[in-house]
Amino acid sequence: MNHSNDYSLAELLACVASRLLEDNRAVFVGTGLPMIATMLAQRTHAPHILIIFEAGGVGPQVPVLPISVGDSRTFHKAVAASSMHDVMAAAQAGYIDYGFLGAAAMDAYGNLNTTVIGAWERPKVRLPGSGGANDVGSFCWRTLYIMRNQSRRTFVNELDFITTPGWLGGPGEREKAGLPAGCGPYRVITQLGVYGFDEETKRLELLSLHPGVTADEVQANSEFEILIPAELPVTQPPTEEERRVLGEIDPTGMVLGKYQFRPPRS
């Protein structure tokens, strides 16, 4: 594989997310980077991945990047233009393997806040709320998070509001709360590295460092302690082929160009 050197952070995040998606699985997609990552998977290693949009688009052959989760591109040449009840029910019934989420803030257990900063009654910043996030985080077998701004303000000890459940307070807590068994957050991708969740504690654990990033930087950009193994692989950079396909998917840089790049320091 030819690895590229002058890739952007957005391209790296899209490639990492894309490689996590297995073929012949169903994925709940939103707009932006998750859509790009899924389209990349579809055009490379996962041609039969089933794309589902929460507003009712099922199995589309997306011609150009959709701007909205309900835009007609989300059901272009689809197998069904259905309804939210149909796809949310499918997710609740266990049909959907992957879901993508982002958030303003996350805690060590992968719980997410997209509702308010400050007190709910009189917020300092009012954010959009759950949208489909609580549904995705409750129902999908494996949830993938993309958070491009990992910092002490976004990786926090205590959330102002738990919009979407991660592992709640640790192992078994989701089931105890009544959520469907055996599902939850799987991977977290940030500008610094890729994370999973420790089996024993369900706390965030570093899995790989992006090129040029150190473990110290990872910890310095988190309020909570991250489990960091002694031996760490480096995230595989985008290949020339992946970058070429990304250029086809987002030729004008509508999403990929929007990112505030923070190039990894060497």
Partner 1 sequence: MSDVIEILAEGQGELLGWRDPDENRAWVRENKPRGLVDKQMSVQEAVARFVRDGDYLALGGFGHIRVPMALVYEIIRQGRRDLAIAGKTAVHDIDVLIGAGCVAKVECAYSFGHELRGLSPAGRRAVESGQVKVVAEISNGGYQWRFLAGMMGIPFIPVRNLMGSDTFGKSSAKQVRDPWSGKPVTLLPAAYPDVALFHVPRCDRYGNAQIDGILVEDFELARAARRVIVTTEEIVAEEEIRREPDRTAIPFYVVDAVCEVPYGAHPTLMPYRYFFDEAHIQEWLTLSKTAEGAQAYFEKYVFGVPDFDAYLEKIGGLRTLAQLKRIEQLRAPMVNGQAEMEARR
Q: Which of 22, 173, 198, 217 binds partner 1 (CB under 8 A)?
A: 173
Task: Give me 23's structure tokens.
Answer: 């073929």
Q: Which of 24, 61, 92, 157 binds partner 1 (CB under 8 A)?
A: 92
Instruction: Tell me the catalytic residues.
Output: 54
Task: Give me 232's structure tokens.
Answer: 């760490």
For residue 225, the 8-state DSSP code is: P
139 binds partner 1 (CB under 8 A): yes
CA distance 235 to 253: 23
Cβ nearer to partner 1, comparing 31 with 154: 31
In contact, 205 and 196? CB cutoff 8 Å: yes
Smallest distance, partner 1 to C-beta of residue 17, A: 17
Q: Which of 179, 227, 228, 232 binds partner 1 (CB under 8 A)?
A: 179
Smallest distance, partner 1 to C-beta of residue 136, A: 9
Q: Are strands 142-147 and 184-190 parallel, antiparallel or unpaired?
A: parallel
- For residue 212, the tally of other CB atoms under 10 A from its CB is 12
168 binds partner 1 (CB under 8 A): yes
Cβ nearer to partner 1, comparing 24 with 83: 83
Three-class SS state of 57: strand
For residue 234, the 8-state DSSP code is: B
178 binds partner 1 (CB under 8 A): yes
| Dihedral angle, C-alpha 30, 226, 5, 17, nearest 10 ° | -20
Site string for partner 1, 206-245 (x = CB under 8 A): ----------------------------------------
CA distance 27 to 136: 10
Beta bridge pairs of residue 58: 52, 80
Cβ nearer to partner 1, comparing 233 with 253: 253
177 binds partner 1 (CB under 8 A): yes
Site string for partner 1, 50-89 (x = CB under 8 A): ---xxxxx-----xx--xxxxxx-xx-----xxxxx--x-
Q: What DSSP string describes 138-174?
A: HH-SEEEEEES--STTTB-SS-S---B-SSTTSTTHH
126 binds partner 1 (CB under 8 A): yes
- Where does this chain bind partner 1 (CB under 8 A)? 31-32, 53-57, 63-64, 67-72, 74-75, 81-85, 88, 91-92, 111, 115, 120, 122-135, 138-139, 161-165, 168, 173-174, 177-180, 252, 254-255, 258
